[in-house]
Amino acid sequence: MSNDEVNNIVESSHQAFTEWRKTSHEARAKVINSIGETLLKYKEELSELMTEERGKLYSQSLQEIDLCKAICDYTAEKGVAALADDERDIEGLKKGIVTYQLSVSFMACSHGTFLLTKYSVIPSQI
pLDDT per position as a tens digit, 4-52: 998 899 999 888 888 888 888 888 889 989 999 999 999 999 999 999 9
How many CB atoms are closer than 10 A to CB 111?
Answer: 10
Residue 101, pLDDT score:
57
Residue 121, pLDDT score:
42
**Whole-angstrom distance, CA of residue 9 vs CA of residue 65:** 27
Residue 95, pLDDT score:
62
Residue 64, pLDDT score:
92
- Residue predicted with more confidence, 89 or 58: 58
Confidence at 81, pLDDT banded by 50, 70, 90: confident
Mean pLDDT value across the chain: 77
- Indicate yes or no: pTM above 0.85: no
Is a pLDDT exceeding 60 seen at residue 112?
Answer: no
Strands (E), 8-85: none
N residues, the chain: 126
Percentage above 90 pLDDT, the chain = 31
CA nearest neighbour of 100 among 114, 80, 76: 80
Q: Is 108 in contact with 78 (CB distance < 8 Å)?
A: no
- Residue predicted with more confidence, 87 or 107: 87
Q: Which residues contact 87 (CB under 8 A, 6 or more apart)?
A: 95, 96, 97, 98, 126
One DSSP character per residue, 79-120 reads: HHHHTS-EEE--TTSSEEEEEEEEEEEEEETTTEEEEEEEEE
